[in-house]
Amino acid sequence: MAGERTKQIQLLLTPVDEQRIAGRIRADFPEAVFLDQRGWVDPDQPPVRQSIVECSSTAAIWDRSIWPVLTGARYPNGTVDGPTIGPVVQWLRSLERTPGVLSPGRWAASFSDRTPPAMRTFVNRLWRIAGQETSNDMTWADQGGAQVKTYHVGHDALRACREGSLRLVGTPLLVPR
């Protein structure tokens, strides 16, 4: 579709960071809930969770005041998938795949000519919350040392990295002094 675009932000968050950000989202958007994107069983019943930490690694943020009804799709093999972006903001959670090593996650949203203005406002405010609740002082550098990608790092993840108890992957990451 003409005019379609995706907005995304790279995140390195511990569960402590996620809970703090989720609290801000719920305070600013009382109708917002979190969906466990791997928890769809019925296409007409989104798997709502009250906390982001109750979700699998693939989650979404859904503001029910903007999209009161959300439906998934059932496939011939019986699996059910919900929308990944569009009426929801995809939240791929940061994962500690190896103890002490945190892999990045991201938020993603898509827009088209038919996107309601309230959804655009919702996404812009979510990105503002992410910016306020993280540090963007860390960048991934290529082999020549050029900074090519910025990561928004939660305050708990940054503290743990500085203390040496957590390594942030997407390396090499430059840690501010």
Instruction: Read off the tokens for 7.
Output: 């907005």
Instruction: Read off the tokens for 56.
Output: 């699998």
Q: 142: exposed, middle or buried (C-beta count within 10 Å: 0-12, 13-18, 19+)?
A: exposed
Query: With contact defined as beta carbons under 8 Å apart, do 126 and 61 qualify?
Result: yes
- Please state, in angstroms and as integers, the Cα–Cα distance from residue 87 to each residue in 91, 107, 119, following that order: 13, 13, 8
> pLDDT tens across 57-66, in order?
999 999 999 9
Q: 64: exposed, middle or buried (C-beta count within 10 Å: 0-12, 13-18, 19+)?
A: middle
**Residue 162 included in any domain:** yes
> pLDDT tens across 95-124, in order?
998 899 999 999 999 999 899 999 999 999
Output the CA angle 136-166-61, nearest 5 degrees: 55
Instruction: Read off the tokens for 132.
Output: 């306020």
| Confidence at 177, pLDDT banded by 50, 70, 90 | very low
Instruction: Read off the tokens for 11.
Output: 């995140």
What SS3 class is residue 69? coil
**Residue 19 included in any domain:** yes
Residue 116 CA to residue 127 CA, distance in Å, equals: 17
**Residue 173 included in any domain:** no
**Residue 175 included in any domain:** no
> pLDDT tens across 144-156, in order?
666 666 789 999 9
**Residue 149 included in any domain:** yes
Closest CA to 106 of 91, 126, 89, 85: 91
What are residue 156's phi and psi, to 5 degrees? -70, -40
> pLDDT tens across 77-94, in order?
999 999 989 999 999 999
Domain count, the chain: 1
**Residue 155 included in any domain:** yes
**Residue 174 included in any domain:** no
Residue 111: give the domain boundaries.
5-168
Instruction: Give residue 140's pLDDT.
Output: 67
Instruction: Read off the tokens for 118.
Output: 């309230």
Instruction: Read off the tokens for 65.
Output: 């005041």
Instruction: Give residue 151's pLDDT.
Output: 84
**Residue 125 included in any domain:** yes
Residue 102 CA to residue 15 CA, distance in Å, equals: 11
| Confidence at 42, pLDDT banded by 50, 70, 90 | very high
Instruction: Give residue 116's pLDDT.
Output: 94
